[in-house]
Amino acid sequence: MTAVLPRPVAAPSRAGGPARSRSVGGTVLRTVLVLGLLALVLYPLAWLLAASLKPNDEVASNLSLLPHAPTLDNYVRGWTGMQTISFARFYVNSTVIALGVVVANCVSCLVTAYAFARLRFPLRGMWFAVMIATLLLPHHVLIVPQFVLFKFLGWIDTPLPLIVPKAVATEAFFVFLMVQFMRSIPRELDQAAKVDGCSPFGIFWYVVMPLARPAVVTTAIFSFIWTWNDFFSQLIYLNSPDHYTVPIGLRLFVGGEGQTELGPMFAMSMLSLVPVFLFFLAFQRLLVEGINTEGLKG
């Protein structure tokens, strides 16, 4: 398992699994099983798409996946929003925060990872162990004192508490990911640059950073997706509807008993998944092969 993220995985000619079942019946059975499971797993998404295209009264009554009278009305009404705020506002807020986090994570984790992976300094081992420990730290534990801190700074109801902490490499997972990646970059390159008179900063800028691009891409994509889907911290820090993000905004559609506007709610739910879905389409292989096996290395 030394292969790094996006490099195509070598053809798994000796893949595991019990010795091949040669029977045609086995293969057919397997295929049917996989297709059946796929249908089951994808059903909720298909249901959401269908619900978003159904007129409001049909959402509850028509249980078929095909709307009788498909309409885009839900999207129009959802987008113009409830009360006085357009859903576009939430979309913009979410995008700003997500992009802020992407930049903050990429820069800070890259710099930190370089220190851990390449430079020698006293206590490096200890700090690295501390960083790994924070990886397992449930962030709910810190939310109360952090809230007090950001309240003291006057940052409540701004995007700052959601972005600034990422600029100081608090997302240990990505630091770890980049350290693992940088360790796979041949050290000879550093040595060569050093001999040519490069400072540690020069090595970072001209050698390690350009070569670490695949890890940066992975970090950027997952930073975006996780921030986009994040609910807990946005719920805590954003409290005026003007500053709501998409997940918080979606909750506005849930009214009191029976008041819920199902159609527009599901239309906007659908829209809220679109950015993640686009990332999925564009980086399928990277997403599936890359990040999840990362923890197994090293």
Binding to other proteins in span 74-133, by CB under 8 A: 108, 111-112, 114-116, 119-122, 124, 127, 130-131
Please measure the distance between the N-terminal and C-terminal CA atoms of the chain and give it in whole angstroms: 9
Residue among 80 and 277 whose Cβ is closer to other proteins: 277
Q: How far is the CB of 14 from other proteins (least distance, A)?
A: 4
Site string for other proteins, 193-222 (x = CB under 8 A): --x---xxx--x------------------
Cα–Cα dist 177/219, whole Å: 8
Among 191, 213, 278, 282, binds other proteins (CB under 8 A): 191
Query: Among 211, 170, 169, which Cα is nearest to 190's?
Result: 211
Cα–Cα dist 77/93, whole Å: 19
Q: Other CB atoms closer than 10 Å to residue 256's CB: what's the count?
A: 6
Residue among 99 and 142 whose Cβ is closer to other proteins: 142
Token output for 267: 């239309």
The DSSP annotation for 225-271 comes to: HHHHH--HHHHHH--SGGG--HHHHHGGG--STTT--HHHHHHHHHH
Q: How far is the CB of 283 from other proteins (least distance, A)?
A: 10
**By the 8 A CB rule, do 215 and 189 touch?**
no
Query: Among 275, 219, 227, which Cα is nearest to 105's?
Result: 219
Q: How far is the CB of 128 from other proteins (least distance, A)?
A: 10
Q: How far is the CB of 80 from other proteins (least distance, A)?
A: 19
- The interface region with other proteins, picked from 68-76, 86-94, 95-103, 166-174 by CB under 8 A, is 166-174
Q: How many residues bind other proteins (CB under 8 A)?
A: 104
The interface with other proteins within residues 10-69 (CB under 8 A) comprises 11-12, 14-21, 30, 33-34, 37-38, 41-42, 44-45, 47-48, 51, 59-61, 63
Q: How far is the CB of 86 from other proteins (least distance, A)?
A: 18
- In the three-class reduction of DSSP (H, G, I as helix; E, B as strand; rest coil), residue 199 is classed as coil
Token output for 21: 């079942």
Amino acid code (one letter) for 223: S
Token output for 70: 């498909």
The interface with other proteins within residues 228-287 (CB under 8 A) comprises 229, 231-232, 235-236, 246-248, 250-251, 254, 262, 265-266, 269-270, 272-273, 276-277, 279-280, 284-285, 287
The residues near 231 (Cβ < 8 Å, ≥ 6 apart) are 247, 248
Q: How far is the CB of 12 from other proteins (least distance, A)?
A: 5
- The interface region with other proteins, picked from 9-17, 73-81, 90-98, 210-218 by CB under 8 A, is 9-17
The interface with other proteins within residues 135-164 (CB under 8 A) comprises 136-149
Q: How far is the CB of 53 from other proteins (least distance, A)?
A: 14
- 160, with CB counted inside 10 A (0-12, 13-18, 19+), is middle
